Structure formats: C-alpha cells, structure tokens
C-alpha cells in the first residue's frame, strides 16, 4: 500500500510532538534557571503548546490509520532501545 506525502507528514508530526514539547520545557526551563530570566519559562510553555498543535495536525493529516501506524513505529522504537540498552523487562521476550 502506498501512502501519500500528507500521510507521512502526519506520521512525522505524531512521532515528534512529544519529544519536541518536553524538550522545549526542559531546555527553556534550564535556561531560565541558569540565566535567572523568567521569559525562558514562557518560551518553554510556548514550545509545549506548539507540540499539542503538532499532535492535532498530525492526527488530521494521518487519520486513524496513521495513528495506528505511528503507535506501531513507536513500539518498535522502544523495543529497539530496550534491546540496545538491555532493558529486558521492557521487551516481549522477557515474559517467555
């Protein structure tokens, strides 16, 4: 099955929105502490809000099928990390 460019853009948005939002909070709040400047908190919150927009736009572009596919990709990614870092209690093989 061939997917459209719109679908793939939606998948990218779905896969990156959490990392973008939490990354913005961590980076900008760290900068606020280091620089003692409260405006960095504002920018961290703005980044987090933008990540919710990315999620919504990703859902619109990819649709329900894209949501299912992005969950499969995220699951594979976490299983890969579990194998690389030997987090055996997070893989399905640990139950066997």
- DSSP summary character for residue 4: P
* Alpha-helix runs per DSSP H in 1-96: 5-35, 39-84
Q: Within 13 A of 24's CA, how many CA atoms are on the CB side?
A: 17
pLDDT class for 94, splitting at 50, 70, 90?
very low
Predicted confidence (pLDDT) per residue in 27-79, tens digit: 999 999 999 999 999 999 999 999 999 999 999 999 999 999 999 999 998 88
Quote the longest CA-to-CA distance of the chain. 53
Q: Given the structure tokens 């896969």, which residue do they identify?
A: 15
CA-closest candidate to residue 13, choices 87, 63, 77? 63
CA-closest candidate to residue 31, choices 18, 44, 46? 44
Specify the pLDDT at position 89: 64
> Dihedral sign, CA of 43, 49, 51, 53?
negative
Specify the pLDDT at position 96: 47
Specify the pLDDT at position 79: 86
**Is 95 a residue whose pLDDT tops 60?**
no
């Amino acid at each position: 099955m061939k997917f459209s460019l719109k679908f793939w853009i939606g998948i990218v948005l779905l896969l990156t929105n959490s990392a973008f939002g939490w990354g913005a909070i961590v980076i900008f709040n760290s900068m606020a502490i280091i620089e003692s400047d409260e405006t960095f908190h504002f920018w961290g919150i703005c980044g987090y809000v933008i990540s919710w927009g990315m999620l919504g736009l990703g859902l619109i572009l990819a649709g329900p099928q894209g949501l299912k596919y992005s969950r499969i990709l995220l699951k594979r990614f976490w299983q890969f990390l579990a194998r690389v870092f030997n987090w055996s209690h997070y893989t399905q093989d640990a139950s066997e």
